[in-house]
């Protein structure tokens, strides 16, 4: 969904489908002919979504003025005027994680200075506790043809208001004639290249297995609209914001446009791109004047399907394209150190699982991996998960006792030096030891100080600006 809609584009569903089929055939040919680039070591990258906050610690709809003041080509707007996004440079995995941390910290300093000139503050968090329901409306949508078209098409396809119902300790129920609650969900998106061939399916399946523990350890979104909900409330809020079921998976579960998936991959990422074609209608059937090799319609379709692990074709068929996985389960924040640790845990654990002698998905039902993911989103480090050994584990203990070392081994097998792998994963180990991730710290602060959400955001911001990882934060 990164491409803007311009005046030359026009809507024509049959013509879009024809072009989508032609471009999907070109991608299929690339798989058949093994034309995708191979990376040794793998490449990594990331995107960070963030908020603007005013002096009252409330979200501020000022992203256009902020981005103009920042004047940074790596920064761009997001769906709501409260949000912006930082797109980080790609790096080879060895040495790449410290480079990502350094770049986030440098960009964040620049963001802080630019925001300060406008009387604002930038905030990296999954959902700001001071967000008020009425703030997210069509009036606060970033002026953009693509966002307007996306909202119109979602509501047209749904044919009824967006219904949100999320419950755990407390309950949120509402109906809206727009999808703007999606903008409440800000994330860290980690990119990992995948080599063509036998690695493809195993790597994606491994990312699916890793999704549960990664979500548990990184949770940072326990409050929405003044209610205490899931530890990672982004997950149900984003799914319900779009809320368009498309088909039923192999086990009978509904598969929507925001989804964990329909089942294990058997051989290739191409299975997912065929699912894009045959399982989901075009949400934005916009015709572009571009040769098929540029894959504009193929990428637009893929960009309007928000899998929590999303397959991506980088580049196009006029050159040497590449494959990567975009992991979307982790929230933004609390600090650069924490986000890079989350990325390292996802990358290392995924590569470890994919390299096991026996593919773990052979002995693990897909329903178990999906159940783990939603249990970890709901309960965070308090969740129980059925792991690859078939045993039910406390996820906090599983991460501390087994998975940190597994992720470390996965990083080292990919060329990351031992000292770098241990250092970048240390916040994960310490969070699993203490039980304090971003969600737990926010809950603890409220338990101690009461429901002063402005005070909570003020304390969170102060800690964030100091840059120390969340497991060290005092309440």
CA distances from 188 to 50, 124, 286, 327, 334 (A): 9, 9, 28, 8, 11
Confidence of residue 10 (pLDDT cuts 50, 70, 90): low
Confidence of residue 146 (pLDDT cuts 50, 70, 90): confident
- pLDDT tens, 11-60? 789 999 999 999 999 999 999 999 999 999 999 999 999 999 999 999 99
Confidence of residue 244 (pLDDT cuts 50, 70, 90): confident
Phi, then psi, of 190 in degrees rounded to 5: -100, 135
Q: Which pTM does this prediction carry?
A: 0.96
**pLDDT score, position 198:** 86
Residue percentage of the chain with pLDDT more than 90? 91
**pLDDT score, position 1:** 44
Give mean pLDDT, residues 84-113.
98
Confidence of residue 249 (pLDDT cuts 50, 70, 90): confident
- Distance separating alpha carbons of residues 410 and 378, to the nearest angstrom: 27
Confidence of residue 291 (pLDDT cuts 50, 70, 90): very high
- pLDDT tens, 177-235? 999 999 999 999 999 999 999 899 999 999 999 999 999 999 999 999 999 999 999 99
- pLDDT tens, 300-359? 999 999 999 999 999 999 999 999 999 999 999 999 999 999 999 999 999 999 999 999
**pLDDT score, position 8:** 45
State both tokens at 285. Answer: 């059937």
**pLDDT score, position 474:** 97
- pLDDT tens, 385-423? 999 999 999 999 999 999 999 999 999 999 999 999 999
226: closest CA among 464, 475, 73, 454?
Answer: 454
**pLDDT score, position 7:** 47
355: closest CA among 419, 312, 414, 416?
Answer: 414
Interior angle at CA 59, CA 243 and CA 101, nearest 5: 85
**Average pLDDT of the residues of the chain:** 95
Do the Cβ atoms of 265 and 201 come closer than 8 Å?
A: yes
List alpha helices for 117-197, DSSP H. 145-158
Report CA Rg, the chain. Answer: 21
Give the range among 83-97, 136-150, 434-448 with minimum mean pLDDT.
136-150
Cis peptide before 244 (omega within 30 of 0): no
Long-range CB pairs of 313-321 (<8 Å, 24+ gap) are 313/27, 313/30, 313/273, 315/37, 317/26, 317/27, 317/29, 317/30, 317/35, 317/292, 317/293, 318/291, 318/293, 318/294, 320/35, 320/36, 320/37, 321/27, 321/30, 321/35, 321/36, 321/37
Q: Is the pLDDT of residue 9 over 70?
A: no
Do the Cβ atoms of 400 and 432 come closer than 8 Å?
A: yes
Give mean pLDDT, residues 240-249.
83
Phi-psi region of 315 (alpha: psi -120 to 50; beta: other; left: phi over 0): left
């Amino acid at each position: 969904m990164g491409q803007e809609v311009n005046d030359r584009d026009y809507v024509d569903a049959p013509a879009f489908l024809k072009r989508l089929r032609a471009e999907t055939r070109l991608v299929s040919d690339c798989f058949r002919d093994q034309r995708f680039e191979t990376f040794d070591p793998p490449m990594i990258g990331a995107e960070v979504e963030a908020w603007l906050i005013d002096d009252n610690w409330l979200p501020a709809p000022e992203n256009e003025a902020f981005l103009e003041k920042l004047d940074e080509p790596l920064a761009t707007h997001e769906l709501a005027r409260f949000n912006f996004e930082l797109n980080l440079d790609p790096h080879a995995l060895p040495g790449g994680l410290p480079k990502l941390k350094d770049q986030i910290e440098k960009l964040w300093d620049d963001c802080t200075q630019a925001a300060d000139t406008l009387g604002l503050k930038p905030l990296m968090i999954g959902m700001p506790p001071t967000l008020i329901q009425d703030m997210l409306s069509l009036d606060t949508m970033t002026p953009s043809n693509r966002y307007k078209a996306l909202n119109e098409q979602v509501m047209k396809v749904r044919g009824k208001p967006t219904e949100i119902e999320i419950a755990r300790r407390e309950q949120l129920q509402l109906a809206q004639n727009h999808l703007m609650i999606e903008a409440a969900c800000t994330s860290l998106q980690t990119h990992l290249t995948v080599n063509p061939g036998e690695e493809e399916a195993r790597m994606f399946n491994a990312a699916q297995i890793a999704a549960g523990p990664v979500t548990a350890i990184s949770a940072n979104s326990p409050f929405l609209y003044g209610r205490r909900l899931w530890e990672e409330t982004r997950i149900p809020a984003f799914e319900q914001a779009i809320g368009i079921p498309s088909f039923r998976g192999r086990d009978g579960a509904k598969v929507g446009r925001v989804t964990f998936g329909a089942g294990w991959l058997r051989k290739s990422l191409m299975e997912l791109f065929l699912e894009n074609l045959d399982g989901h209608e075009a949400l934005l059937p916009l015709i572009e004047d571009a040769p098929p090799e540029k894959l504009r319609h193929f990428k637009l379709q893929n960009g309007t399907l928000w899998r929590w692990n999303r397959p991506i074709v980088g580049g196009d068929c006029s050159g040497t394209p590449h494959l990567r996985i975009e992991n979307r389960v982790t929230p933004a924040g609390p600090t650069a150190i924490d986000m890079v640790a989350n990325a390292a845990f996802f990358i290392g654990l995924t590569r470890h699982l994919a390299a096991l002698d026996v593919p773990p998905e052979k002995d693990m039902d897909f329903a178990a991996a999906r159940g783990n993911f939603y249990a970890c989103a709901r309960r965070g480090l308090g969740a129980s998960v059925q792991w690859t050994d078939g045993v039910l584990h406390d996820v906090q203990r599983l991460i501390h006792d087994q998975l940190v070392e597994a992720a470390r081994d996965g990083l080292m097998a990919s060329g990351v030096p031992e000292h770098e792998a241990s250092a970048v994963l240390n916040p994960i180990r310490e969070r699993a030891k203490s039980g304090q991730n971003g969600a737990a710290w926010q809950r603890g602060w409220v338990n101690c100080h009461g429901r002063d959400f402005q005070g909570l955001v003020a304390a969170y911001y102060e800690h964030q600006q100091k840059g120390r990882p969340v497991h060290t934060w005092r309440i």
